[in-house]
């Protein structure tokens, strides 16, 4: 049986998917919520938010992500970073999943990935869980109802949490799998209900497709000045570094919180919604995001709540520290309704330095920006990946290694050319620790980070005095109006200066060792910007 709106010529049967139970095509939010509640997938919270827990998997499973090794991608995939799957394994997985799906109900959402019509991808997401349909509908871009009559899905994702893969039979690592087949334009996801896999799969896809079109895909949030999209800023950062929090600045227009492209036409959001962390969410520091947790149809994932009063406990991390809410951009009052921005005028690279060594803000030359982009130094924060329970220093190239199917220098060269062409200002911002490393120091106050970013974006920061950092070679402001001067030089924030110097030296060595892998691929000026 078929429900909902779809072009009959595009029903699943035409993709070889038959024998299912009910199929719900392009249901609107209220119907998806109704189905999800009816099926007992979760329950309604205050304001009609949909409260759900994802079971065993509450973060991504990066080690279970596979790319099918076919001749067409043999020379373009970065195999050291992407686990291969043999084509036969994928075909078996596909057949076994379809057999498993027989007689079960599915939800189909036909959506756009990419706010720029020239570069967008038409994606069909087939989910076993009604709330996954709701999640991805919030996160991607929703076609007009009439556009659905012409919608032709180019890529298809099938997400089946109740299916367990068999490593011997399917050529994967565990029962959990996220498998990409670039020739078949098909992604199969099994044995995980963490909703983030859906959106990050689309991101991975675009990271593969767009560089060939000269478009730089970026793991970044973006915002622009009110009334002036030409004044666009992007904020690169691995999970937990502050992309979502810092892009939702009350004095700017939010373009998007996680994934954007930079083409000859400017910047554009890949998505149409946000996926914010809710752990310790402070209604005063982040009022707009807080409000979405009490809004009809927002997906509230893995938060603990009082079963009687439905009061959410923002401090409770007993299910995971990676508690989340997912909502469409129009739940945020100062969000862009086009998803489009100009050529980034300011590029912020967010790092969550668990060593407490990097300054809260530093100005980078284009060569230094390239050095830090390829290095991608930060910390993995608790919860977003399986097995990470406290901040874990890492070099995640392009500030998003788990999502990069191509070699880092492909992205590096694209970004370098665009920075040079458009003369973007580049900054490195530490949202991690100050006053000592994780364990002794504390997390950088959001207020200070916001004030420094405002000064960078409104141009006032460029006018202050800078010092050259002896360890890293970049320029650091000496004093900034509205910010505690004591914070600006991290060495001052440590009680034990010798300990700071030792930690800084260690970090410089880590950078230098990590960077060796990029030396054969980079220009002389980036080599000159290398530290250590």
Ligand X SMILES: C=C(OP(=O)(O)O)C(=O)O
Ligand Y SMILES: Nc1ncnc2c1ncn2[C@@H]1O[C@H](COP(=O)(O)OP(=O)(O)O)[C@@H](O)[C@H]1O
Binding site for ligand X (CB under 6 A): 60, 196, 200, 239-240, 243-244, 258, 275, 384
SS3 assignment for 49-88: CEEECCCCCCCECHHHEEEECCHHHHCCCCCCCCEEECHH
- Residue 113 or 246: which CB sits closer to ligand Y? 246
Judged by CB under 6 A, the residue of 245, 293, 351, 362 near ligand Y is: 245
Give the pair of three-digit tokens for residue 456: 């960078």
CB-based contact 237:243 (threshold 8 Å): yes
**CA-CA distance, 212 to 72, in Å (whole number)?**
14
267 is catalytic: no
What phi-psi label fits residue 220: left (phi over 0), alpha (psi between -120 and 50 degrees) or beta? beta
- Residue 295 or 386: which CB sits closer to ligand X? 386
244 binds Mn ion (CB under 5 A): yes
CB-based contact 178:62 (threshold 8 Å): no
292 binds ligand Y (CB under 6 A): no
Judged by CB under 6 A, the residue of 53, 443, 484, 501 near ligand Y is: 443
239 binds ligand Y (CB under 6 A): yes
Which residue among the candidates 243, 406, 418, 450 is catalytic per the annotation? 243
Q: Work out how close the CB of 291 gets to ligand Y at its nearest, in angstroms, rounded to a whole number.
A: 15
Q: Work out how close the CB of 236 gets to ligand X at its nearest, in angstroms, rounded to a whole number.
A: 11
Q: How many CA atoms lie within 13 A of 192 on its CB side?
A: 24
Residue with tokens 């498998």: 179
Residue with tokens 């992205």: 411
Strands 346-351 and 228-236, bridge-based pairing: parallel
Site size toward ligand Y (CB under 6 A) is 18
Is 431 among the annotated ligand-binding positions? no
Is 60 among the annotated ligand-binding positions? yes
Is 485 among the annotated ligand-binding positions? no
Q: Using CB under 6 A, which residues numbered 262 to 281 contact ligand Y?
A: 276-277, 279
**CA-CA distance, 217 to 258, in Å (whole number)?**
11
Cβ-based neighbours of 425, under 8 Å, separated by 6 or more: 345, 346, 347, 363, 456, 462
- For the stretch 304-307, contacts whose Cβ atoms lie closer than 8 Å and that sit 24 or more positions apart, written own/partner, are 305/45, 305/51
SS3 assignment for 138-181: HHCECCCCHHHHHCCCCEEEEEECCCCCCHHHHCCCCCCEEEEE
Is 239 among the annotated ligand-binding positions? yes
Q: Work out how close the CB of 207 gets to ligand X at its nearest, in angstroms, rounded to a whole number.
A: 14
Which residue among the candidates 127, 156, 192, 244 is catalytic per the annotation? 244
**Interaction partner, residue 242 (Mn ion, ligand X, ligand Y, none; CB < 5-8 Å by kind):** ligand Y
489 is catalytic: no
**CA-CA distance, 394 to 401, in Å (whole number)?**
10
Judged by CB under 6 A, the residue of 85, 216, 364, 444 near ligand Y is: 444
CB-based contact 518:374 (threshold 8 Å): yes
Which residue among the candidates 69, 120, 141, 324 is catalytic per the annotation? 324
Interface pattern 144-183 for Mn ion (x via CB under 5 A): ----------------------------------------
104 is catalytic: no
**CA-CA distance, 518 to 428, in Å (whole number)?**
20
Q: Work out how close the CB of 251 gets to ligand Y at its nearest, in angstroms, rounded to a whole number.
A: 16
Is 423 among the annotated ligand-binding positions? no
258 is catalytic: yes
CB-based contact 232:267 (threshold 8 Å): yes
For ligand Y, which residue has the nearest CB?
Answer: 242
Q: Using CB under 5 A, which residues numbered 221 to 240 contact Mn ion?
A: none
Judged by CB under 6 A, the residue of 192, 204, 244, 351 near ligand Y is: 244
Is 237 among the annotated ligand-binding positions? yes
Q: Work out how close the CB of 502 gets to ligand X at its nearest, in angstroms, rounded to a whole number.
A: 31
- Residue 10 or 320: which CB sits closer to Mn ion? 320
- For the stretch 485-493, contacts whose Cβ atoms lie closer than 8 Å and that sit 24 or more positions apart, written own/partner, are 487/360, 487/434, 487/444, 487/445, 487/448, 488/359, 488/360, 488/361, 489/359, 490/356, 490/357, 490/358, 490/359, 490/360, 490/430, 490/434, 493/356, 493/434, 493/435, 493/436, 493/441
State the CB neighbour count (10 A cutoff) for residue 333.
10
Q: Work out how close the CB of 388 gets to ligand Y at its nearest, in angstroms, rounded to a whole number.
A: 13
**Interaction partner, residue 196 (ligand X, Mn ion, ligand Y, none; CB < 5-8 Å by kind):** ligand X
- Which stretches of the chain bind Mn ion, using CB under 5 A? 243-244, 258
Catalytic residues: 60, 200, 219, 239, 243-244, 258, 324
Q: Which positions touch ligand Y (CB under 6 A)?
A: 237, 239-246, 257, 276-277, 279, 431, 443-444, 446, 449
Q: Which residues are annotated as a binding site?
A: 60, 194, 200, 219, 237-245, 258, 286, 324, 449
Known binding residues for Mn(2+) are 200, 219, 258
């Amino acid at each position: 049986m078929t429900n909902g709106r779809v072009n009959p010529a595009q029903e699943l049967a035409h993709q070889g998917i038959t024998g299912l139970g009910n199929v719900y095509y392009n249901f609107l939010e209220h119907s998806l919520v109704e189905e999800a509640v009816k099926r007992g997938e979760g329950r309604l919270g205050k304001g009609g938010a949909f409260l759900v827990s994802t079971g065993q998997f509450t973060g991504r499973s990066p080690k279970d992500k596979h790319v099918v090794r076919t001749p067409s991608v043999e020379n373009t995939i970065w195999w050291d970073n992407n686990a291969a799957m043999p084509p036969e394994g994928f075909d078996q997985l596909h057949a076994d999943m379809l057999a498993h799906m027989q007689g079960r109900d599915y939800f189909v959402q036909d959506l756009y990935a990419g706010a720029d019509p020239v570069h967008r991808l038409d994606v069909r997401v087939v989910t076993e869980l009604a709330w996954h349909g709701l999640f991805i509908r919030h996160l991607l871009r929703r076609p007009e109802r009439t556009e659905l009559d012409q919608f032709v899905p180019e890529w298809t994702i099938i997400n089946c949490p109740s299916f367990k893969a068999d490593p011997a039979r399917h050529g994967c690592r565990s029962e959990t799998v996220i498998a990409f087949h670039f020739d078949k334009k098909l992604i199969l996801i099994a044995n995980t209900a963490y909703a983030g896999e859906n959106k990050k799969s689309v991101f991975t896809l675009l990271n593969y497709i767009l560089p060939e079109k000269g478009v730089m895909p970026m793991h970044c949030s973006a915002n622009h000045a009110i009334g002036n999209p030409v004044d666009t800023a992007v904020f690169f950062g691995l999970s937990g570094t502050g992309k979502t929090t810092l892009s939702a600045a009350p004095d700017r227009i939010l373009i998007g919180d996680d994934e954007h492209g930079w083409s000859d036409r400017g910047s554009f959001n890949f998505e149409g919604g946000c996926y914010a962390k809710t752990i310790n969410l402070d209604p005063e520091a982040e009022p707009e995001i807080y409000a979405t947790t009490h809004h009809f149809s927002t997906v509230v994932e893995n938060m603990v709540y009082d079963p009687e009063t439905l009061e959410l406990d923002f401090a409770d991390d007993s299910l995971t520290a990676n508690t989340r809410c997912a909502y469409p951009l129009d739940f945020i009052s100062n969000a862009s309704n086009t998803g489009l921005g100009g050529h980034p005028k300011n590029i912020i690279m967010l790092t969550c330095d668990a060593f407490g060594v990097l300054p809260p803000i530093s100005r980078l030359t284009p060569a230094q920006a390239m050095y830090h982009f390829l290095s991608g130094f930060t910390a993995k924060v608790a919860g977003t990946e399986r097995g990470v329970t406290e901040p874990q220093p890492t070099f995640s190239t392009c500030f998003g290694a788990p999502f990069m199917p191509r070699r880092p220098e492909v992205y590096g060269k694209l970004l370098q050319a665009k920075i040079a062409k458009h003369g973007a200002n580049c900054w490195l911002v530490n949202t991690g620790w100050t006053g000592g490393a994780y364990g002794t120091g504390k997390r950088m106050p959001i207020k200070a980070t916001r004030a420094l970013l405002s000064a960078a974006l409104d141009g006032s920061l460029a006018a202050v005095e800078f010092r050259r950092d002896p360890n890293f070679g970049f320029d650091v402001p000496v004093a900034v109006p509205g910010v505690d001067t004591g914070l600006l030089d991290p060495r001052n924030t440590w009680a034990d200066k010798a300990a700071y110097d030792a930690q800084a030296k260690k970090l410089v060595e880590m950078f230098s060792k990590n960077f060796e892998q990029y030396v054969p691929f980079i220009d002389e000026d980036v080599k000159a910007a290398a530290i250590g």
